[in-house]
Chain A
Amino acid sequence: MPTWLIASPSEGRLLGEGRLRGPTAWVIAIMSFSIVIIAAAGLALASTAGMLTHAISSRYSIELPAGSGDVSRLLGAVRTAPGVTEADAVPESEMRATLERWLGPAAQSPDLPVPALINFNVRDGADLGAIRQRVQAALPSASITAHRESVAPLLHSLHVLQWVAFGLVLLLSAAASAAVVLAARGALENHRFTIEVMHGIGATDAQVTNLFQRKIAIDALAGSLAGAVAAGLVLLMLSAGASFMGELTGGATLSGLDLLVLALLPVALTVLATWIARLAVLAALRKAL
């Protein structure tokens, strides 16, 4: 633990105020709460995007226009193609059930032509060109689509949201820093007389700065932890209801590394606030002789 963080009783009396009396700790607590919630959302989105990317990276679909050929023969050709690990035809009933969400009961009408669909997975390094040639040879009207192409807009949106969350975390950190600078300046102004006396007696800038840095560090740590604990409780309630972690993120949960990052955020916020406070106090002190 840094020595400047430990105050003797007499040093504690120099500034004369108890901690948590000012708004600094509360402002930092609110910032910490918001930062942890937003960071958790960003990390959950990243986890979702990762899961989705992993799940569809090797998955393809072959679409056959309705009545265009023998699905079974094509399925057999795909299953025996080099590099294909799994291939299945989507049952027509399942296709119609899917269409029913948009078309209603009309989707079950025999007059409605329903295309056939074959999904298949390939192993890493599989020659997709060869598979495509084999499919074209078996059924020229069939077309192959990579799932990652279909889901690309969704993945793009998820990535954008992650960056938005990251940006918000930075903005909130900047806002917390600004609050700390204001608090440091306010504290300096409140204790201007004490500082003048200390300087006159021979105190160095470091000695004066340590007093304020210590006070702000303690306020920042208390505020950060309080905000983070409150955010943790909220996340716990949401995850217990399987809404936030489950439905919103498609089953994605926060990994151990994610939880470690979230746990370190209040510490990082405290370090940032303390460092900013030190710079602000030193800058202000340098204006005096």
Chain B
Amino acid sequence: MLRDLDFRLSKGGFYFLTGPSGAGKTSLLKLLYLAQRPTRGRIRLFDTELTDAPRESLPPFRRRIGVVFQDFRLIRHMSAFDNVALPLRIAGATDEQVEAPVREMLAWVGLADRASARPPTLSGGEQQRVAIARAVINRPDLLVADEPTGNVDAEMAQRLLHLFTALNRLGTTVVVATHDVGLIKASAGAKLIRLENGTVMDPTGALRNPPRSPRLDA
């Protein structure tokens, strides 16, 4: 349960959300990507008050948010290609329009030859890369990632970080919930938001980065 949260994310900022398991990271991310409403308090996103916004008004905001779920949330009966293409199609792109960008994105995450594979036939790491490709294919204004490198090797983790950084340079605000100290260390410019017991310990995002502790979930 989250409580007494008061912080703001700068447009174009890069944030790591850290904290022990059960601290409320996933709940906070759900509020950010509009999957939940707060029972109390206010949420303002893209200069718009969204706390009590009618549900019909939320889809255009959700299209501006890319989400990498911890459990990937890929549609099992659709190919990797179709999963990655889904945000573009929902935004109104035709099958012809999605072809090139999806192929390019799949190649970038190293899955060009697995485009027609369905998620159950992919490894955990491959599924995670498909989930990341789906989250960034639309060049979102806000990218929210929940443990995005949990199932990939160090090399792929670095490539994904470079992808996030590249998107961030293009103006995307990036929020990554992670326990991966290596990932945080490799992003010297990023800010840290630490959650403990459902509240932000340093709402300024000015905690030492990289952190002194070798483990953030201690």
Contacts and interface: CB of A to CB of B under 8 A. Distances in A.
B58 interface: yes
A200 B138 CA distance: 14
A14 interface: yes
Given A8-B95, A202-B60, A197 B90 contact: no
B37 A289 contact: yes
A201 B90 contact: yes
Contacts of B59: 199, 202-204
Interface string B61-96: 111110100000111011000100111011100110
B95 A197 contact: no
Given A9-B95, A16-B77, A201 B87 contact: yes
A207 interface: yes
Interface string A107-134: 0000000000000000000000000000
A13 to B, nearest CB: 6
A255 interface: no
Contact of B95 (A10, A193, A202): A10
Contacts, number: 62
A273 B91 CA distance: 29
Contact of B86 (A8, A201, A205, A289): A201
B36 A201 contact: no
Nearest to A207: B90
Contact of B78 (A8, A13, A202): A13
B111 to A, nearest CB: 18
Interface in A204-256: 204-205, 207
- At the interface, is chain A mostly helix, strand, loop or mixed? helix
A204 B73 CA distance: 18
Interface string B14-49: 000000000000000000011111000000000000
B78 A14 contact: yes
Contacts of B35: 200, 289
Q: Which of A8, A11, A201, A205 has the most CB of B within 10 A?
A: A201
B113 interface: no
Interface size, A (range): 20 to 34
Nearest to B61: A202
A167 to B, nearest CB: 39
Contacts of B212: none
A197 B75 contact: yes
A199 B86 CA distance: 11
A203 B90 contact: yes
Given A13-B78, A202-B91, A197 B86 contact: yes
A286 B73 contact: no
Given A10-B89, A289-B37, A194 B56 contact: no
29 contacts: A9-B95, A10-B82, A10-B89, A13-B77, A13-B78, A14-B75, A14-B78, A16-B77, A16-B78, A193-B73, A194-B75, A196-B73, A197-B75, A198-B86, A198-B90, A200-B35, A200-B67, A201-B67, A201-B86, A202-B59, A202-B62, A202-B65, A202-B90, A202-B91, A203-B59, A203-B90, A204-B59, A207-B90, A286-B55
